[in-house]
């Protein structure tokens, strides 16, 4: 193992962990959250929903398969969820300086340094996770070389504006024209749509798409507090007045719920993993899902035209809604999950099916 420098994590409750540096050796601040997935750290680190957060991996061994090549497909990186790392920092128990994988392009450490993101290892992540489960997400800061900084609360900012596309972009040349409202869209949403004979028009978080020619709307995932995205909510309200199909994912679920008159609240410590069970309401069918969210839609706030579609088996929170008569539905989990599981990718087929039905009637 190469020589490493000491670096520490300080939580807002005063708890301090001293570890070793393996990424960019600098001080940063953010909200400390944990993820229980065993694989998929390249996808997690590039997920825009982690903007402003310091990610703790509960799986003890990280870095052993490096990070993928920068190969592109359809103009976007083939193996990542965006074009850069979005987490503010990464905390792991044991970092593997030796990596081996058929698709590895470089080490995790080198990749973190390229993106100027600090990483800490040799920290008791079990104890840290217990603290976060007991107290909920805490603000924290990674301090390098005793260069102290202020705590930072990402919930107070419009994070979608920092991670979304700057202008309208078009992908593919399929027969179904989809508006993708980018509030921090993962690339695998785009990939899943493009595999289904679509033309995807990706627009910024506050873009008024009401004048666009389209067959359906996809509301993407994204970071932060949904209540701060008033312009997005207003644009969704316009779409809800019509009857073209709408499919929301994660933050998209919350924003569609708010646009429909509902409300949201912050969970104690959020859902971030590849292994959350959800049940389709009215059935005994259960799916294993990938999730990454800190806020959730209040089911009891739904208006009479709406009903819950999925529910979380672990804590009973909302995992999706649908309109009773119009082709609008959403999921709190990620049916496009990358690196998996892919149990619910069929929902993209359901979305395209609704679009075909709409086009056949108009």
Query: Among all residues, which ones are annotated catalytic?
Result: 250, 334, 336
Count, residues in the chain: 362
Whole-number Å distance between alpha carbons of 144 and 103: 32
Query: Residue 108, CB half-sphere, CA atoms under 13 Å: how many?
Result: 31
Residues 6+ apart with CB under 8 A from 301: 257, 261, 262, 263
> Which backbone phi and psi does 246 adopt, to 5 degrees?
-135, 135
User: In 3D, which of 259, 270, 184 has the Cα closest to residue 223?
Assistant: 184
CA distances from 281 to 79, 99, 225 (A): 33, 43, 26
Contact 319, 330 (CB under 8 A): no
Q: How many other C-beta atoms are found inside a 10 Å radius of the C-beta of residue 101?
A: 11
Name the token pair of 23: 């990424």
What region, left, alpha or beta, does residue 26 occupy, with left being phi > 0 and alpha being psi -120 to 50 degrees? beta
User: In 3D, which of 29, 258, 61, 67 has the Cα closest to residue 144?
Assistant: 29
Kindly give the residue spans of alpha helices, DSSP state H, lying in the chain. Answer: 41-45, 108-114, 125-135, 160-163, 187-194, 230-241, 251-259, 346-361
Rounded to the nearest 10 degrees, how much is the dihedral formed by the CA atoms of 19, 25, 28, 32?
-40
Whole-number Å distance between alpha carbons of 189 and 143: 35
Contact 52, 159 (CB under 8 A): yes
DSSP 199-263: EEEEE-TT--GGGS--SEEEE----S-GGG-HHHHHHHHHHHHS-S-EEEETHHHHHHHHHTT--
Residue whose token pair is 């679920």: 253
């Amino acid at each position: 193992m190469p020589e490493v420098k000491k670096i520490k994590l300080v939580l807002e409750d005063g708890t301090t962990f001293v570890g070793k540096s393996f990424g960019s050796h600098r001080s940063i601040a953010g909200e400390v959250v944990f993820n229980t997935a065993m694989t998929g750290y390249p996808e997690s680190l590039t997920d825009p929903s982690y903007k402003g957060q310091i990610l703790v991996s509960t799986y003890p061994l990280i870095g052993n398969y490096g990070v993928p090549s920068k190969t592109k497909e359809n103009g976007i990186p083939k193996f990542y969820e965006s074009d850069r790392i979005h987490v503010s920092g990464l905390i792991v128990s044991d970092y593997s300086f030796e990596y081996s994988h058929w698709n590895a392009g470089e080490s995790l450490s080198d990749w973190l340094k390229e993106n100027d993101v600090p990483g800490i290892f040799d920290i008791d992540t079990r104890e840290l996770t217990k603290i976060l489960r007991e107290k909920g997400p805490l603000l924290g800061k990674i301090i390098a070389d005793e260069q102290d900084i202020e705590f930072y609360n990402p919930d107070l900012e419009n994070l979608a504006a920092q991670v979304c596309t700057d202008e309208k972009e078009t992908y593919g040349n399929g027969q179904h024209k989809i508006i993708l409202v980018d509030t921090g869209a993962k690339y695998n949403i785009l990939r899943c749509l493009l595999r289904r004979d679509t033309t995807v028009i990706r627009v910024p978080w506050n873009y008024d798409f009401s004048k666009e020619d389209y067959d359906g709307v996809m509301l993407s995932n994204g970071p932060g507090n949904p209540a701060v995205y008033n312009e997005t909510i207003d644009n969704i309200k316009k779409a809800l007045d019509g009857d073209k199909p709408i499919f929301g994912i994660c933050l998209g679920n919350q924003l569609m719920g708010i646009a429909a008159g509902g409300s949201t609240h912050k969970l104690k410590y959020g859902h971030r993993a590849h292994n959350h069970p959800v049940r389709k309401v009215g059935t005994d069918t259960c799916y294993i899902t990938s999730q990454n969210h800190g806020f959730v839609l209040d089911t009891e706030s739904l208006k009479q035209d709406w009903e819950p579609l999925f529910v979380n088996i672990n804590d009973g929170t909302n995992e999706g809604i649908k309109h009773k008569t119009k082709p609008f539905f959403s999921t709190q989990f990620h049916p496009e999950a990358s690196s998996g599981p892919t149990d619910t990718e069929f929902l993209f087929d359901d979305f395209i099916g609704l679009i075909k039905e709409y086009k056949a009637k108009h």
